[in-house]
């Protein structure tokens, strides 16, 4: 797991850009079919971004889990994180970091990131989660999150997620 990057921009921004191009093309010609396409592009963008964040969160846990000597401990940690459904910061992301690195580790990681970036991360994840919840639980309503807005939120948080990834690896190297 050493040099593999978890949060790579191209991995998420490329598919979001494709969805954005489709959305923009469909928005130029008003029709009922294109209105359906607008909903679909928006929903796919939000759900894709959320899934990417959740997968990355689980990969961060692997940084800690592979250092556990006992296979039962590894399985237990991975199992606990599998039951974290969502990606809001306080309810999901910090809980996964706490499971993986403990309270001391979470405090270390948050100190490394800084209060300003944590506020930005929490706000952007909150927006994405709100859009994702709306997209996942409604069919007929066009959600307010266009692919462009999703790309904007992701562009804000990717550098912060990279800082978290760097901090978790640094913490692992120091303490494990």
Which percentage of the chain shows pLDDT scores above 90? 49
Domain carrying residue 125: 9-175
Query: Is residue 94 situated within a structural domain?
Result: yes
Question: Do the domain assignments include residue 3?
Answer: no
Class of residue 27 by CB neighbours under 10 A (exposed 0-12, middle 13-18, buried 19+): middle
| pLDDT exceeds cutoff 50 at 1 | no
Instruction: Record the pTM.
Output: 0.87
pLDDT in tens, 32-60: 899 889 989 999 999 999 999 988 888 88
- Region 137-155: mean pLDDT is 85
Q: How far is CA 75 from the centre of its chain?
A: 22
Determine which of 40-44, 91-95, 146-150 has the lowest per-residue pLDDT on average.
91-95
Q: What is the pLDDT of residue 140?
A: 63
Inform me whether the pLDDT recorded for 141 exceeds 70.
Answer: no
What's the structural domain count of the chain?
1
Residue 126: inside a domain: yes
Q: 3-class secondary structure for 124-165?
A: HHHHHHHHHHHHHCCCCCCCCCCHHHHHHHHHHHHHHHHHHH
For the chain, how far is it from start to end, CA to CA, in angstroms?
Answer: 14
Q: Chain-wide mean pLDDT for the chain?
A: 87
Cβ-contact 64, 176 below 8 angstroms = yes
Q: Flag whether 87 is in a domain.
A: yes
Return the percentage of the chain with pLDDT > 70, whole number. Answer: 88
pLDDT score recorded for residue 69: 66
């Amino acid at each position: 797991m050493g040099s593999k990057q978890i949060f790579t921009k191209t991995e998420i921004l490329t598919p979001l850009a494709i969805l954005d191009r489709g959305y923009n093309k469909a928005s130029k010609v008003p029709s009922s079919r294109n209105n359906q396409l607008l909903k679909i592009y928006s929903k796919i963008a939000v759900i894709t971004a959320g899934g990417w964040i959740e997968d990355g969160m689980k990969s961060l846990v692997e940084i800690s889990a592979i250092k556990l000597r006992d296979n039962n401990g590894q399985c237990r940690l991975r199992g606990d994180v599998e039951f974290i459904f969502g990606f809001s910061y306080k309810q999901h992301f910090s809980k996964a970091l706490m499971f993986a690195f403990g309270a001391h580790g979470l405090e270390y990681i948050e100190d490394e990131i800084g209060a300003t970036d944590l506020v930005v991360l929490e706000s952007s994840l909150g927006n994405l989660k709100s859009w994702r919840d709306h997209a996942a639980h409604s069919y007929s309503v066009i959600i307010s999150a266009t692919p462009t807005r999703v790309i904007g939120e992701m562009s804000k948080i990717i550098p912060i997620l990279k800082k978290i990834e760097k901090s978790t690896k640094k913490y692992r190297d120091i303490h494990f």
